[in-house]
Amino acid sequence: MQSTSRPDNRAWPKLLSKYRQPDRVRSTFELIVTIVPFAALWALCWAAVHFEVWWGLVLILPAAGFLLRLFMIQHDCGHGSFFAHRTADDWTGRAIGVLTLTPYDYWRRSHAAHHASTGNLDERGIGDITTLTVAEYEALSGWGRLGYRLYRHPVVTFGIGPVWLFIFKQRLPFGMMKAGARPWISTMTTNLAIAVLATGLIWLVGLGPFLAIHLPIVILAGAAGIWLFYVQHQFEETHWSQGSDWQFQEAALHGSSHYDLPPVLRWLTGNIGIHHVHHLSSRVPCYRLPEVLRDFPELAGIGRITIADSLRCVKLVLWDENRGRLVSFREARTAS
């Protein structure tokens, strides 16, 4: 199929429906070629510590990359797109959640809220990075502005943030404390499974080696994951609206970026950079997203950002409703 003109935004979900069917053999292969290298790299890191070949700890970096890819598979399972079989997706996602420190059922519910409300100024705060409008920021007290500046500082967002989120926050169902039993069951059973796995690994390799290997892997993978989530929605030409102006297809297509990464990084990140397509049709398996760009090349240029572009996105912290784009603190101060 080759597109010659851009369809109406409302037509995209139907056009993309043909890509929603996964190849279960391919899905199984993708899982194996992710988890086996991760386990092998973890074992090699332990060997480096055990035999005091300290330069071998550089393997923590690719191990974090494969853990990130496992999270992307867990993400697809949460959307029911990896195997398109609810039981297989759910239990694969729950098992991976023990490695990613992410309670699957709790996270899936939060992430579904993100997909249902992305780009909606009236529905901020669930499963996303807090973003204030210029007017909201200016209405804050001095302490409030300082708190928001600290929250949006790169050291906090990409340094402290992964530690807080993956090691501490996800141990309880924050945001869903009164949402019934499932979020609690998800977090508590995941915590128990993490404790059992950690205890077994500590018994095998010792507490020191375990912490020296696994904590950096989790933190690096978490930082990369937060970075990806950030640049997929926090770019200059992103889309926000409210009330009756908000439309799902418009928000999905223009409120999510196409993070155009080199091939190796595309693979490690499960093609999640093709984020606008993912938001248009979240049931498309990660390995089929490139097919969509191949068949609809006009989508490739929408919201496209490169690695260099993404580095400039860090300063964009406030939504300017008058200009209809994200701005920096300095730009907001100049305009006021």
Instruction: Assign 180 a pLDDT band (cuts: 50, 70, 90).
Output: confident
Average pLDDT, integer, range 303-313: 95
Residue 271's Cα: distance from chain center in Å? 11
Are 68 and 273 in contact by the 8 Å Cβ rule? The answer is: no
Average pLDDT, integer, range 156-183: 91
Q: What pLDDT score does 177 carry?
A: 86
Q: What pLDDT score does 75 carry?
A: 97
Q: Kindly report, residue by residue over 57-113, the tens digit of the pLDDT.
A: 999 999 999 999 999 999 999 999 999 999 999 999 999 999 999 999 999 999 998
Query: In this structure, which amino acid lies at residue 187?
Result: T
Q: Kindly report, residue by residue over 108-165, the tens digit of the pLDDT.
A: 999 998 999 889 998 886 767 889 999 999 999 999 999 999 999 999 999 999 999 9
CA angle 21, 26, 28 (to 5 degrees): 110
Q: CA 125, CA 113: separation in Å to the nearest integer?
A: 10
Residue 69's Cα: distance from chain center in Å? 10
| Domain membership flag for residue 4 | no
Residue 264's Cα: distance from chain center in Å? 18
Average pLDDT, integer, range 280-285: 96
* Number of neighbours of residue 294 by Cβ within 10 angstroms: 12
Give the domain extent around 182.
Answer: 18-335
Q: How many domains does the chain have?
A: 1
Given a cut of 80, is residue 36 above it in pLDDT?
yes
| Domain membership flag for residue 1 | no
Given a cut of 70, is residue 261 above it in pLDDT?
yes
Average pLDDT, integer, range 188-210: 97
What DSSP line would sit under 251-273, residue for residue? HHHHSS-EE---HHHHHHTTTTT
Average pLDDT, integer, range 300-322: 94
| Domain membership flag for residue 3 | no
Q: What pLDDT score does 5 carry?
A: 56
| Domain membership flag for residue 2 | no
Given a cut of 60, is residue 231 above it in pLDDT?
yes
Write the CA distances from 313 to 149, 152, 156, 228, 232, integer angstroms: 15, 12, 16, 12, 10
Q: CA 35, CA 13: separation in Å to the nearest integer?
A: 32
Q: What pLDDT score does 1 carry?
A: 46
Instruction: Assign 175 a pLDDT band (cuts: 50, 70, 90).
Output: confident
Average pLDDT, integer, range 36-45: 98
Q: What pLDDT score does 237 carry?
A: 86
| Domain membership flag for residue 6 | no
Write the CA distances from 309 to 259, 279, 334, integer angstroms: 9, 21, 23
- Regarding predicted confidence, which is higher, 11 or 201? 201
Average pLDDT, integer, range 326-332: 93
| Domain membership flag for residue 188 | yes
| Domain membership flag for residue 8 | no
| Domain membership flag for residue 7 | no
Instruction: Assign 225 a pLDDT band (cuts: 50, 70, 90).
Output: very high
Are 280 and 12 in contact by the 8 Å Cβ rule? The answer is: yes
Q: What pLDDT score does 179 carry?
A: 82
Write the CA distances from 331 to 67, 87, 137, 197, 320, integer angstroms: 37, 49, 13, 49, 9
| Mean of all residue pLDDT scores within the chain | 93
